[in-house]
Structure 1
Amino acid sequence: MASNIKQSLESLLTTDGALVAALVDSESGMVLGQAGAGLDIELACAGNTEVVRAKLKTMRSLKLDDYIEDMLITLGKQYHIIRPMHSKPDIFLYFVLDKSKSNLALARRSLHDIETGLQF
């Protein structure tokens, strides 16, 4: 399992503009796997766990019968994409890209492809 996660995250880094990729448990905020460099991944994943929890809480409050496909946070210089796994919603992929060097549509497609290939 660990090699599958590591290989999947490393393959995400071949995406244009990719900086960091991680797999995160949203119940604990724990990083299950990571690749890349450029930011404190433990801190980023813990913080983004709170983002996921807040969105899920809001969806429950609104009684939405739906799921999160992905969440995009656009900064001045970076894209941060959070993609809960459809098969395991308590696990999410976290992907950081350099905004000036990346193609958002291709990055989202790469995340989708990785998600469908990950085995637990």
Structure 2
Amino acid sequence: MPEWLFEEVKDEIPKFVGVTTGDRVLKKAKNVPLELPEKELYINLVCALNREANKYYTNLDKDKLSKYKSAINKYMKKYENESNEMKHWKREYYKLRQQVEGNYEEIFNCNIIK
């Protein structure tokens, strides 16, 4: 907590709560007796850690899923581009073939060569 903020709220902070700036202790914490049984505190701690772990793995799964989706989209675009290029060259091939067949129609119809 920044020192200027501590000065503004120090009267609202309970006596047993400590305050630090990260590198310096502004108010030392005091030991107080536990209000709950120790076993119950451990159970609460484990439950909280489990929730945090679930959040981490859920986000991790979402990150992996988004990476897979972006990879799939990338390959789909690449496939579309290559497919369009293949169609283009196929059309060009048929145009050239028609030109050649037109120029050498007698040969293809086997009128000259028997």
Both proteins in one fold, TM over 0.5: no
User: What TM-score does the superposition give when structure 1 sets the normalisation length?
Assistant: 0.21
More RCO (CA 8 Å, sep 6+)? 1
Higher CA-based Rg: 2
User: What TM-score does the superposition give when structure 2 sets the normalisation length?
Assistant: 0.22
